[in-house]
């Protein structure tokens, strides 16, 4: 039975059937779920939701009279809460950036070493990748915005290696948003780190060619998922998610991808995640043959492609992970100020926290200030290109 309740009546154990309003205005990528985590209850109460619908056949009803908070869900076996994990203390962005930079540099170095070994015909040391993913997971748990702010910092020459680091970070953050825990979350992180290892079987002059590829060269590049899968399947430590994502991260929901032209009914959750994370980082990165799109523009483009290219549920969760205005996006405010997104707001995807530093009216720098747009009287006018204002994205 579906029942409409006010936000003041919501409690743990309820099955949320639908949250009122636009999905972008609350901190959950899905509207139907069992409310089993205290932190999710707090998020729900803090956002601008006034009412929602619950399904009392799948969870608790509102409290009446002497009803106790410890009442059990009517049908708990239908929706099981996620297994609990040790709680990791959250830290502010500035503090986590110190640790995140070290993790990012360490992972980059390890990926270069692993990929170079593969190019020379040596075996992949998957256990090293697992240890790195553990560190990435801990950083994401403490403050996901830190590593997400670093993944765009790559040159065209470093793309192949840092793309793998970025996809790993995105896979862990997305997996967390989707409710993956424990060993599965670790495995999708490893899958992200190793998904492009097949590119080590592609000649360097083709992989980094600045001009348009010939049809024959493009076919060679398109062979990298299968070549990577062949490399990984010889390594006994490689789990199924790593093999799956490596082989299928270029598949599409409409069956027009490669190498196997799989479609929605045959693609796993892990492959669907890999497709979204791989495309996002690819189109926001500078390559030897093109300039990367700004993060907000990339999200807009991917939204227009999602029906045939991506799984809609996974894509929604991804947007919740990085934001409508991802970390690093340059925004112009109604006041004429420019600011860069430094953190997502728990209240709304459309109202991130930004660092303002420049005035378009005076065409000069102003004192730096952190503004939470969900609490500000100012408003966002547009996402801007740093080059348009003569700004260096890496120094904003």
pLDDT in tens, 254-292: 999 999 999 988 999 999 999 999 999 999 998 888 889
Mean pLDDT of the chain: 87
What pLDDT was estimated at residue 138? 95
Q: Is 294 a residue whose pLDDT tops 60?
A: yes
Q: Among 68-77, 166-175, 215-224, where is mean pLDDT lowest?
A: 68-77
What pLDDT was estimated at residue 314? 94
Q: Is the pTM of this model over 0.85?
A: no
List, as one string, the DSSP characters of 370-384: EEETTT-SS-EEEEE
Q: How far apart are CA 292 and CA 225, in angstroms?
A: 23
- DSSP annotation of 387 reads G
Q: How far apart are CA 243 and CA 274, in angstroms?
A: 11
Q: Is 18 a residue whose pLDDT tops 90?
A: no
Quick: pLDDT tens for 34-67.
888 887 888 888 777 888 889 888 888 888 654 4
What pLDDT was estimated at residue 81? 41
Domain 93-322 annotated CATH 3.20.20.110? no
Left, alpha or beta for 168 (phi > 0: left; psi -120 to 50: alpha)?
alpha
Contacts of 274 (CB under 8 A, 6+ apart): 167, 171, 191, 192, 195, 245, 248, 249
CA distances from 154 to 12, 146, 158, 207, 281 (A): 43, 15, 6, 16, 11
Q: How far apart are CA 193 and CA 253, in angstroms?
A: 23
Domain(s) labelled CATH 1.10.3210.10 in the chain stretch across 93-322
Tokens of 79: 């929706």
């Amino acid at each position: 039975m579906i029942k409409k309740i006010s936000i003041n009546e919501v409690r743990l154990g309820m099955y949320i059937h639908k949250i009122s309003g636009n999905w972008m205005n609350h901190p959950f990528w899905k509207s139907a779920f069992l409310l089993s985590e205290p932190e999710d209850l707090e998020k729900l109460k803090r956002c601008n939701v006034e009412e929602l619908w619950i399904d009392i056949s799948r969870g608790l009803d509102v409290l009446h009279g002497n009803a106790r908070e410890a009442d059990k869900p009517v049908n708990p076996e239908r929706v099981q809460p996620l297994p609990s994990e040790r709680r990791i203390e959250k830290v502010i962005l500035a503090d986590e950036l110190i640790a995140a930079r070290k993790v990012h540099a360490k992972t980059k170095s390890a990926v270069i070493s692993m990929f170079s070994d593969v190019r020379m015909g040596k075996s992949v040391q998957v256990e090293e990748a697992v240890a790195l993913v553990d560190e990435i997971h801990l950083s994401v748990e403490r403050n996901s915005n830190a590593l997400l702010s670093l993944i765009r910092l790559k040159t065209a020459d470093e793309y192949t290696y840092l793309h793998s680091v970025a996809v790993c970070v995105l896979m862990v953050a997305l997996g967390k948003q989707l409710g993956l825990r424990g060993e599965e979350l670790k495995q999708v992180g490893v899958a992200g780190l190793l998904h492009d290892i097949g590119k080590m079987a592609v000649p360097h002059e083709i992989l980094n060619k600045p001009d348009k590829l010939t049809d024959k060269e493009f076919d060679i590049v398109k062979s990298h998922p299968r070549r990577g899968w062949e490399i990984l399947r010889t390594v006994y430590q490689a789990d199924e998610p790593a093999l799956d994502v490596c082989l299928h991260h270029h598949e599409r929901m409409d069956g027009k991808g490669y190498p196997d032209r799989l479609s929605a009914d045959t693609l796993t959750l892990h492959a669907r995640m890999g497709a979204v994370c791989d495309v996002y980082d690819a189109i926001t990165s500078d390559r030897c043959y093109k300039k990367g799109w700004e993060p907000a523009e990339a999200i807009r483009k991917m939204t227009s492609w999602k029906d045939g290219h991506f799984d809609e549920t996974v894509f929604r969760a991804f947007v919740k992970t990085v934001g409508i205005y991802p970390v690093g996006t340059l925004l112009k405010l109604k006041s004429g100020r420019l600011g860069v997104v430094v953190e997502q707001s728990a209240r709304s995807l459309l109202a991130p926290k930004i660092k303002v530093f420049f005035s378009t009216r005076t065409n000069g720098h102003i004192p730096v200030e952190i503004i939470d747009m969900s609490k500000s009287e100012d408003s966002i006018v547009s996402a801007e290109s740093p080059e348009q204002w003569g700004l260096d994205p890496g120094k904003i």
